[in-house]
Structure 1
Amino acid sequence: MEDWALARLNTQQIDLSSQSQAEAYGQLTRNELASICSQLNCDAAFIVFHHPNDYQAFGGILPHDVRWIDEKPPQPTINTRQVKPKQGIEANSAVNQVINSAIDGLISDDNYLESVFAAKDAKFATEMLPQRALNALKVLTEHSLMMSRPCNVGDTWLVLGVITHKPLALVLDKHAYHLASSLELQALSFSIAKKDRQYQELFQQLPIPCALIDSDNRVMGLNHIAKNSLSLELTASVFTLLDVDDHAMLHDTLHIVREGLLRQAWCEVPLLLSGQRHWFKLSFCHALDDKAQLLMLAEDITERYRLADELSFHSNHDVLTGLPNRVQFELLLDEALKDPDSANACVAFLDLDQFQVINDVSGHQAGDELLCQVAKRLKLLLRKGDVVARLGGDEFGILMYSATQESATLVAKRICLQLSEHEFQWRKVKHNVSVSMGLAKLDKNAGDIYTVLSQIDASCRLAKEEGRNQWHFYSKDDPQISKLYNQMLASVDITGALALDEFELFYQLIEPLEKADTGLHMEVLLRMVQKDGSYVSPAIFLPAAERYNLASRIDRWVIDNLLKWGANNLATWQQLTMVSINLSALSLGDQKFMSWLEMRLMVEPELVDKLCFEITETAAVSQLDQATALIDLLQPLGCKLALDDFGSGFSSFAYLKCLDVDFVKIDGQFVVNLCQDKSDKAIVAAICQLGKDMEFEVIAEFVESVEVGYLLKNLGVDYAQGYAIAKPQRLSSLTSGLRTPWLVSEASFYSGADI
């Protein structure tokens, strides 16, 4: 009783919730204990366990015919069982003290013992006892020996003991070792069986098709879903799932896992199931068994591939018409440009005439329906193999393979004729349909597709200017095309110049002919600065800006930089009398620009009262509401408004009744030959008289001589502007805002002037 040893047994791995397993394990334990009782010729053999739940499955055995007597000891103890040996030994306190001392020695460490079990053929054990109640175990016997071997497994301590009235040698150590080993092996066996059962259940319950693949790539197991969804049979090769072309991919995937290059690898392959093509992601990893099998998971990704195909279609096709979009058309055009076999190809660009009218009158739904109808007609009117694409809005592109200029021209004629006869009616409203087309040969020397696109765009614009429902074939020797094409190139330069701040402000004086103002009147002008430092005239880049909707951006740059100059040169600015700025007609119709202009002027209160904005007569008359709105915006801020190029447009004095302008600027065509042309004099005189009656001042431009200046003065013109007075100069060179009079006296005015 002095040499105690404690063994650990992993009984937690035993599934005691399984009645059959618990009974089998308990039977093993009882058999082992019976064998120990027989070999040692003792009264009973028992086991003490640490784990609180293990007593449900274990018990002991008594070799003799014994009877059980229950008694209730004082609290806090619980019911104890007493065994009366065969010899009829009476219960006595001395024996109880021996047993109690033995158990107390066993449980000297508080962590060892929670439950006590004894060998029995009925119940011979205490139930889960607290520490202080363990000394209630009383067994009527003469001696009790306990011995065990360490097992080094699990969380449960095991102690083997026997109850005997005979002295025993310490042979109990050997039996404890055997018992612990047997229990441990049995526990491991049950654990392995349980894990295998759990693995099989998990394999069958996985929500995707699974299969076990052996080293010869044969199918050795299938779960329920795989049996129902995959065309696989047991022992068949997994390669039977795939087309021959995909075998190499699957082989490489299997090789990567088997060689340990990756713990898991996958491939995406198409499978033919029930006559339909499905995409699957086949994933492989090592199975949890000793057969070197691979676990295959088959994930159906057909929907993802369908969505990817649909997304690819939408990314390359127009949603409304189903035609290829601009991206796809440019890709095809680029391939044709690089393909040496497509030497003879032509490209066309077309857009619908007056399409905006249909949107405005019948709504955008009507416009969408017309675009769909036109798309269908175009596909019918093209040759087999040619491509038509919707490039955006009402614009379409056509790529004609193996086409000469003559055959492309025939296609263009057919399209223009057929679409002009197309009847489009929307809710009882009939609309005329026609297109303008630009065509060009696919020039291999063009460099890139954007050069080709700009050529056909220029041709299409020229067709519109020629009266619409026309087509025009591009030729680099065509002067009209060259002019339009140069404007398109200029628009690119404008965009770059705006981004890089490659503009510079100039000014030209406006001379008072009667007033003795001390400050300068001047008009702000704009020049584009080239790489070599030379300047580009507005006559070159402004038409391109107007055509390509860049005018309002230029106007914004001019106003913003002029006000910055004024703020930085405030003393000079305050000396000035008037600073004129030209506004584009497009800026008048640009609400975003007008809102920006109002905010920009409001933050410069010390500068705005010097400003005078010039708009052309044509712009004012064609956009009368916008011009009136501009006046309403400028007047409260103290700005003035001038009507530029008066007489070059509508030339109707009636429009002046609707426009409360401060200045009218006579078009230069009536000033250049003023000294020789009586009609010009009459027109100028009439405008001056009208100005006096309607209280606006008159400015004459293109003044190229002093003689013209004196004549204008005598006719009643208030201001003159031209090279005779001053040529445009850089604004950065202006250091004083004080004026030096131009016409000192009339001595130089020749006496024969006919006024």
Structure 2
Amino acid sequence: MIDSELESIWVSKQSAELSSLLSSEQVTAEIEHLQQQLNCDGVVVILSQISEHITSDFVAQANALKVYESNSQQAEMLGLALVSFPILCEQLLLNQNSGLFPSIVSTETEQKGFSELLTNELSGLCSGLTKPIVLHINHCVVIGNSRLCLISYQHKTDDLNTAERANTDTFHKGNESTLKVCSHAELTRVSELLNNKEIQYLELFQQLPVACALIDKDDNVSKQNQVAIHNLPLRLNESLFSIINSDDHLLLEDCLHIVREGALHQSWCEIPLVISGTKHWYKMSFCRALDIEQHLLMMVEDISERYRLADELSFQSNYDPLTGLPNRVQFEAMLEEVIDTQDRLPACVAFLDLDQFQVINDVSGHKAGDELLCQVSKRLSLLLRTGDIVARLGGDEFGILMFHADKESAEQVAKRICQQLSQHEFTWGEITHNVSISMGLSELNSRTEDIYSVMSQADAACRIAKEDGRNRWHFYSKNDPQMHQLYNQMLASVDIISALALNQFELFYQLIEPLSSDESGIHMEILLRMVQEDGRYVSPGVFLPAAERYNLASRIDRWVIDNLLKWGARHIEIWEQLSMVSVNLSALSLSDSKFMSWLEMRLMVEPDLVSKLCFEITETAAVSQLEQATALIDLLKPLGCKLALDDFGSGFSSFAYLKCLDVDYVKIDGQFVVNVCDDRSDKAIVSAICQLGKDMDFEVIGEFVESEAIGQLLRELGVDYGQGYAIGKPARLIELASGVRTPWLIN
């Protein structure tokens, strides 16, 4: 890029005389003309065109020194002489004075305006000439990077004064001529520089490894390099806009305008082009070209790969890689759009969950599970209405968005999906699995505030469908009693998590009274209450179902056991007086390997306390998880703990499982005890269980002892222990002052 000062000289010189490109011959011709104008016998010009100031090492810059002389023998000799003395040329090019110099001089002759060095050197040059001359040296003129010194001479006459007067008349003309010749020389230098720069620029333009083109003021392609010719559909002298889609014209116009108006030195835009039927993305960058025709240089970079990767990343972030369906992020974005676009309402949202999917993973492996998910996703896509969308939300969960759907039409879709998928058999290897889904639906209307409320409603409805037996659908209704209960449990789960974090539980106890033996210590069951902020207690009948549903039961069991053992360690005297302390374990804790490992370690560090512990599990949990119940017995027995079977008789169909469980106590379900005095069947069942206890060597506990009469009858039937409000209501454990028992029934 050329110096800005030189570029301004080029632009400002508009006359024909100064805009022509002058060669060395033209400069010589100009000097001949100058000789005639000055009415002298000869002219010599010293010219230097260097970018830096002249230094003392002028010899090293001799290639920048030029000496021109008029067509005369004397001038030629003088010019040759000057070239041979670069130091003298340096002095002349630095000279800012004008004056006369006679060829025949003596050391006494006074010279005007020159140093002694200059005088001596010029004397030496002139003494060798064939004819004596009088020199007139004009001061050096500097224009741009050009320095010029003009030397004119007259032949020496006898009348030195006449020669001096003649040369004095030419001083003014000489100064003007020097300025003119220097201007022409600088113009020639700038012209050649510009020409060379343009040639270099065009060579570089062709050699650039990226596609480039020059765009003229009318947005036409004036030049293009080889890369552009082979890769872009550009044609010379045709508009750049002809290859671009009309939708992108405004973007390109703005990009060109920004550079042309000087708002930015460079601007760029990304535009798609279709080449040979394939869509390519190009980044087009524009800047001013280095010419005087106000072209723009366009550089084009193929960025199709970046867009392909961006599309791939977008797909991965918005679509499920296994099934190709939209993922949760994309599904929620579509729901958001429906809510924001009111005229697309009403719509319905469905939440689907595969029934017993974990069984397929466990039996046939995760690869089989993945294949089933792919098959189900294809079936769902075929079973939807045109325009409806199915998405995989995660795991075995799917979501469906039904546009312009009311409750009736959504239920028709749900019915069709449930029927069709229940007939879908999935075979993997030699195993055939039945497939079914549970489905919850919710309506999305103008009153819907956000996507999370409608998804929560559909999720809750799906949970109810599962609880009602699976392979069915349920439509959300805020007045649905089941939904009310589920909603309360959801709130309770939040409260449980908070209570665990803030230690907002408290231990209670209830007496278990021996009916036929005379024990000295208290036999009691540990109960749990949640403490609200206002100090009121929440019954476990409210929060324990929520804990079971939301997998919080094992965390609660851990809190109870840990805090009970801490209480026992602090009140070791009371603990030693106790006869037995019963603690409930949930079914979820039995199947939680981490909890069972923790329980073993926790009991082992309390050897003085564990012998008084008895763990209660429900009959339902024991039967459904017989292997885990057996493992619990194997863990507890070596430590000296006891095991009780709670709610016995509530759901059993056979006593066979009792042969596998070495239990110490069986608690008769309260439904057989509360009416035992009036119901013969209840009395018979209680009697049978007592006989079974004697034969299988376990003790029997009767729950729901609500009166002394019930207690007396239970003792007569052979029941070993009683528990109920008549014996004692639950009380705070921190208020227990003694472990010594006070008898309830007086013989």
Match of 1:420 among 413, 419, 422: 422
Q: How far apart in 2 are the matches of 1:405 and 1:229?
A: 57
- TM-score using structure 2 length: 0.69
Query: For residues 537 and 707 of structure 1, do their structure 2 counterparts lie closer, same or farther at Cα, with a shift above 3 Å needed?
Result: same
Question: Which residue number corresponds to residue 432 of structure 2?
Answer: 430
SS of 1:341 mapped into structure 2: helix
Q: Distance in 2 between matches of 1:667 and 1:456?
A: 37
2:298 corresponds to: 296
Distance 2:484 2:610 in 1: 42
CA apart distance, 1:347: 3.6
CA gap 1:562/1:283 in 2 versus in 1, 3 angstroms: farther
Q: What is the identity, as a one-letter code, of the residue corresponding to 1:746?
A: I
The match for 2:228 among 211, 217, 226 is: 226
User: Counterparts of 1:707 and 1:53 in 2: how far apart (Å)?
Assistant: 131
- 1:599 shift after superposition: 4.5
Aligned residue number for residue 591 of structure 1: 593
Q: List aligned pairs for 1:93-242, cutoff 5 A.
A: 148-149=90-91, 166=124, 181=147, 199-214=201-216, 217-242=219-244
The answer on 1:738 being equivalent to 2:680 is no
> Comparing 566-575 with 442-451, which one deviates more in the overlay?
566-575
- In structure 2, C-alpha distance between the alignment counterparts of 1:253 and 1:359, rounded to whole Å: 57
**Contact residue 515 and residue 745 of structure 2 kept, 8 A:** no
Change (3 A) 1:260 1:473: same
Q: 1:602 to 1:461 in 2, by over 3 A?
A: same
Give the aligned partner of residue 706 of structure 2: 704
Could you tell me which amino acid in structure 2 is paired with residue 224 of structure 1?
Q
Counterpart position of 1:323: 325
Equivalent-residue separation in structure 2 for 1:581 and 1:190 (angstroms): 103
SS at 1:739 equivalent: coil
2:285 and 2:240 mapped to 1: Cα distance? 13
1:621 aligned partner: 623
Mapped partners of 2:267, 2:568: distance in 1: 70
Distance 1:428 1:643, change over 3 A: closer
Q: Provide the secondary structure at the position in 1 that maps to 2:650.
A: coil
**Aligned to 1:361, what secondary structure does the other structure show?**
helix
Output one character per residue of 1:334-385: Cα deviation in whole Å (capped at 9) or x when no partner: 4445544345544434333443343333333333333333332333333222
Tell me which of 291, 309, 312 is aligned to 1:310: 312
Code of the residue aligned with 1:738 in structure 2: it is S
Select 1:525's aligned residue among 521, 524, 527: 527
Pick closer, same or farther for the CA change 1:236–1:687 going to 2, 3 Å.
same
Query: For residue 283 of structure 2, what is the aligned residue in structure 1?
Result: 281
Matched, 1:367 2:309: no
* 1:307 partner amino acid: L
Deviation, 1:619, is 0.9
Deviations 1:125-146 (A, max 9, x none): xxxxxxxxxxxxxxxxxx9976
Task: Report the Cα distance in structure 1 between the residues aligned to 2:744 and 2:424, rounded to whole angstroms.
Answer: 70
Unaligned runs of 5+ in 2: 1-23, 29-41, 45-53, 68-79, 95-116, 128-133, 150-184
Q: Distance in 2 between matches of 1:251 and 1:166?
A: 71
Give the C-alpha shift of residue 729 in structure 1.
3.2
Q: How well do the aligned residues superpose, as a CA RMSD in angstroms?
A: 4.8
The within-5 A match list for 1:530-609 is: 530=532, 532-563=534-565, 578-601=580-603, 608=610
Q: 2:657 is matched with which residue? A: 655
Q: Deviations over 1:628-660 (max 9, x none)?
A: 222333345554433222222326443233233
Q: How many residues align?
A: 626
Kept after mapping to 2: 8 A contact 1:551/1:584? yes
Q: Is the 8 A contact 1:349 1:395 kept in 2?
A: yes
- Is contact 1:608–1:639 with CA below 8 Å preserved after alignment? yes
**CA deviation after TM superposition for structure 1 residue 282, in Å:** 2.5
Superimposed CA distance per residue, residues 600-624 of structure 1 (whole angstroms, 9 cap, x where no aligned partner): 5556666555543322121122112
CA pair 540-188 structure 1, distance change in 2 beyond 3 A: same
Partners of 1:58 and 1:445 lie apart in 2 by 87
Deviation at 1:559, TM superposition (A): 3.7
The verdict on how the C-alpha distance between 1:443 and 1:237 changes in structure 2, with shifts beyond 3 A counting, is closer
Shift of the 410–146 alpha-carbon distance from structure 1 to 2, 3 Å rule, reads closer
What are the within-5 Å matches in structure 2 for residues 42-57 of structure 1?
none
Q: Deviations over 1:405-439 (max 9, x none)?
A: 44334333333333333344333443333334444
Partner Cα separation in structure 1 for residue 527 and residue 93 of structure 2 = 102
Q: How far apart in 1 are the matches of 2:522 and 2:333?
A: 58
Q: Deviations over 1:218-277 (max 9, x none)?
A: 444433222322333345444444333333333333444455544443332323434443
Distance in 2 between residues matched to 1:414 and 1:456, nearest whole Å? 18
In the alignment, residue 743 of structure 2 is paired with which amino acid? L
Q: Match for residue 15 of structure 1?
A: none
Give 1:655-694 correspondences, 5 Å limit: 655-677=657-679, 679-688=681-690, 690-691=692-693, 694=696
Asked whether the 8 Å contact 1:148–1:180 carries over to 2, the reply is no
What is the SS of the residue equivalent to 1:376? helix
For 1:106, the equivalent position in structure 2 comes to: none
